[in-house]
Amino acid sequence: MYAPKDNANPVIPVRLDSQSPMCFSCERDLSCFTSCCHNINIFLTPADVIRLKHRLDLSSEEFLAIYTIPAIIEGTELPIPMLKPLEEDNFACPFVRKEGCIVYEDRPLNCRYYPLGSGIFHNRDESEDERFYALIKEPTCLGHDLGEEKTVQDWVEGQGIEVYDEINSGWVELILRRKSLGPFVELPEKTLQMFFMVCYNLDSFRRFIFNSRFLSVYIVDTETQEKIRDDDVALLSFGMSWLKSTFFGEEKMTLRKETTSSVE
């Protein structure tokens, strides 16, 4: 998911773990500076949308409409937004300039991982999923073998990735569980729309909760209601619980006895 390009064989097929050594440094004086920000294929996670919409002072709908195009998560029919490249500028990221990234502090997770690709091995027999990595070595990038040697974990911590991964954890779990169901289980279009709203269009999801029959159908305590009114991360976590209830029948949400589970 985190490999940003479709170049031929960009991923070196060597499996790395958190303690594997690596050397990489992105320097402004390198001739390749910002070259990785062109011909982009950057998928956005829920944490990316939250950070970027706040950075740009936009609503979820505005951000998604202006800066993204629809895509599908590989191996599923689940929707995901992708950054809309600038066709007139060699399909560049809309946030890159000659001097670099103008949203660097809030750059997407895809960019934070680079030059690492990241994957998760889901083993039903184990209590935890196994994360693994691989180096992305593109011929245009001159940053490899520069700087001090560090471990993959050092790189992850230095790029602020762990905060994003924590926010996205429920979303990643849903994707892995959907993949485990196999290709013969299809999700209805309404369910896919629900997934997109909860994961990426949090402002719409918030209106859905407070302006529909949602609170008449589900019991949501006052403290939680107060949190999700203003806190997008709390709202995303709440949404993941709701999706697990609707997707997999988990008892994450409590229905009011006098109602059915239908919310319009």
User: For residue 239, what are the CA distances in angstroms to 34, 84, 181, 213, 245?
Assistant: 36, 26, 21, 16, 10
> DSSP readout, 226-257?
HHHHH-HHHHHHHHHHHHHHHHH--TTSEE-T
Q: How far is CA 30 from CA 23, 33, 106, in A?
A: 16, 6, 23
Strand partners, 120: 131
Per-position b or e across 57-68, b if 16+ CB within 10 A of its CB: ebebeebbeebb
Predicted confidence at residue 185, as pLDDT, reads 81
Report whether 112 contacts 159 (CB < 8 A).
Answer: yes
Cα–Cα distance for residue pair 86/66, rounded to 1 Å:
12
The per-residue pLDDT for 109 is 97
Total count of residues recorded for the chain: 264
Query: Phi and psi for 199 in degrees, rounded to 5?
Result: -80, -35
d(CA 74, CA 178): 11
The pLDDT profile of the chain, 264 residues, written as one tens digit per residue, is 444 445 555 555 688 999 999 999 999 999 999 999 999 999 999 999 999 999 999 999 999 999 999 999 998 999 999 999 999 999 999 999 999 999 999 999 999 999 999 887 766 555 566 789 999 888 889 999 999 999 999 999 999 999 999 999 999 999 998 988 887 788 899 999 999 999 999 999 999 999 999 999 999 999 999 999 999 999 999 999 999 988 888 877 888 876 555 565
φ/ψ of residue 116, rounded to 5: -100, 140
User: What six digits make up the tokens of 77?
Assistant: 């029919």
Q: What is the pLDDT of residue 259?
A: 57
Number of neighbouring beta carbons within 10 Å of residue 91: 14
| pTM of structure | 0.89
Q: Which residues pair with 131 in a beta bridge?
A: 120
* Whole-number pLDDT of residue 138: 86
Backbone angles phi, psi at 78, to 5 degrees: -75, 135
β-pairing, 218-219 vs 254-255, is antiparallel
* Pairing, β 21-22 against β 150-151: antiparallel
Please report the pLDDT score of residue 3 as a whole number: 42
Contact 109, 163 (CB under 8 A): no
Residue-range domain boundaries for the chain: 21-176, 201-255
